[in-house]
Amino acid sequence: MNISNIRPYRGIKPNLGENVYVDATSVVIGDVTLADDVSIWPLVVVRGDVNHISIGKDSNIQDGSVLHVTRKSETNPDGNPLIIGEQVTVGHKVMLHGCTLGSRILVGMGSIVMDGAVVGNDIIIGAGSLVPPNKNLQAGYLYVGNPVKQSRALKDNELEFLKATNANYVLLKNEYIEDTDNTYSY
């Protein structure tokens, strides 16, 4: 088992649930909790060094994404941890920094979600969008743009798409675990 990409920071080790897949080219560092059936795809950085990161059950973080946090300080005593709910799909090359995401969310490719932003449940953030610091996104909507703006309520088929996309990544993760003979799963 290759665990050089799962590393402690200052004595705090990542905590991984059951059937987690972390690609060998990704790195998970420090105060990070990955719930059951989470998948971390190639070239992802999950760096919980100056605050904590939590990724909920059945969530997936796709290729080239960067996940980080904000340090605690005199002006921000709690800093900004990164909290990701359940059944969240984080698209390719997304940057999440010290924000909170609810459940059943799709963060489109190349999007950025900044410090203190709070993203409600059942949301699609369009590709290339920027969610500014401390912005709150109301549940059940499509958001697009730079800076992001509420576009419209999600349709029933889009709400189902959120669940289906996530379920497909859980299946794909399981195929990778089987194919690699558990070499990089935890």
Q: Has residue 185 been placed in a domain?
A: no
Q: Has residue 28 been placed in a domain?
A: yes
Q: Has residue 184 been placed in a domain?
A: no
pLDDT at 185 over 60: no
Q: Has residue 1 been placed in a domain?
A: no
Q: How many domains does the chain have?
A: 1
Query: Domain containing 98: what range?
Result: 6-179
The CATH number assigned to the domain holding 173 equals: 2.160.10.10
Q: Has residue 102 been placed in a domain?
A: yes
pLDDT band of residue 181 (cuts 50, 70, 90) is: low
Q: Has residue 27 been placed in a domain?
A: yes
Dist. CA 5–CA 133, nearest whole Å: 30
Q: Has residue 47 been placed in a domain?
A: yes
Beta strands in the chain (DSSP E): 6-7, 15-16, 21-22, 27-34, 39-40, 45-55, 60-61, 66-68, 82-84, 89-90, 95-97, 100-101, 105-107, 112-113, 118-119, 123-125, 130-131, 136-137, 141-145, 148-153
Residues 48-78: tens digit of each pLDDT: 999 999 999 999 999 999 999 999 999 999 9
Q: Has residue 143 been placed in a domain?
A: yes
What's the pTM value of the predicted model, to 2 decimals?
Answer: 0.94
